[in-house]
Amino acid sequence: MSTIPHTWQSKHSNKFMYVKFFRKVGDVMKMKVSEIMTPNPICAKVPGTKRDVLRLLVKHNITGVPVVNEEGYLVGIVSRRDIFEHPEEEQLALLMRKDVPVVNVEDSVEDAARIMKRYGRRHLVVVDENKKVLGVITPQDFLDVIIERKISEPVENFITKPCFPLHMCTPLPVVFRAMSLTLLSAFPVVDDDGKLVGIVTDRDLFEKATVDMNVAISELGLGDDEDSWNWEGLRNVMKLFYMEEKVNLPKIPVEEVMIRDPITIFSKSPIWEAAKIMKKNNFSQLPVRNTHDELIAMIFDSDLVLSLTGAEYE
């Protein structure tokens, strides 16, 4: 299944396992931010432009970056969501958000989860006492903790967003409009009987988009060296090119780009099982079904974070 890009920065997949191996039993209940964060993140600098940020996102296949000044201190944060919401803004200083959710390396995982949910954003920046950037945290960084603790509350308790299924014949431009209006990046797809047959994310939309790669590369100033960018990274920002009318989205039905027969989760299943599926498959969302095997909701990795703010454990 294609998914929403779930992390800002890449990290070693065995980082958590290495830490876990050397922890005593029960220490997982006392985990600190330093144990789950991605250290030494890529940062954008001010003064800078939107294109500077886009180049970083495409080159490193990430979805956002902390912003630092010339001295290396945190001054803001910018994600592809900020760029999509303000496509006309060119200057990074005006595009970035200055109200940055931050945590310290010694803060608990629970405190970090509470701060993430309070701000309603997918990213936390880890700083020292001088506001030097030490790391970043995304919802996916919490999944291992949820799995390790085997948080037993049911999935249905953590559904926070409305579910808007799309019919499989919905044209791609209409899907794009639905995503723009709802601020949702993934939709379940159903057939004539309302049965779940697929799932589509904003990245899937542009699989068959007509795009002049030379134009895209030139717009971002990436050059001809393919080692400096990749298609996966370019798909992260393709939405902006469509908004600027530099990409043509074909009027084909969503069934031609959706991921068919998606993995689902039962509404009564413990939340740690949803976390395990997302972690194993690199998913950022899962369709939720009831006892009649009917689609009833979508749950996202950001929803799972709430389980760490006061949960039951097996």
Going along the chain from its start, the domains and CATH numbers come out as 31-137 (3.10.580.10), 155-205+251-309 (3.10.580.10)
Dihedral sign computed on CA atoms, order 99, 100, 106, 110:
positive
Cross-strand bridge partners of residue 98 = none
CB-based contact 174:182 (threshold 8 Å): no
Q: Would you write out the chain's pLDDT as a tens digit for each of its 314 residues?
A: 444 444 445 443 444 444 444 444 455 567 999 999 999 999 999 999 988 998 888 888 888 899 999 998 999 999 888 887 888 898 999 999 999 999 999 999 999 999 999 988 888 999 999 999 999 999 999 999 999 999 999 999 999 988 999 999 999 999 988 988 888 889 999 999 999 999 999 878 766 665 555 566 666 665 555 555 555 656 556 656 555 555 677 899 999 999 999 999 999 999 999 999 999 998 999 999 999 999 999 999 999 999 998 744 44
| pLDDT at 60 (0 to 100) | 82
CB-based contact 113:248 (threshold 8 Å): no
| pLDDT at 278 (0 to 100) | 97
| pLDDT at 124 (0 to 100) | 94
pTM, two decimals, is: 0.80
Residues whose CB falls within 8 Å of the CB of residue 128, separated by 6 or more in sequence, listed in order: 104, 105, 134
| pLDDT at 88 (0 to 100) | 83
- Measure the N-to-C terminal CA separation of the chain; round to a whole number of Å: 30
Burial 136-159 (b: 16+ CB within 10 A, else e): bbbbbbbbbbbbbbbbebebbebb
| pLDDT at 314 (0 to 100) | 43
- Comparing CA positions, the residue from 90, 146, 188, 130 lying closest to residue 273 is 146
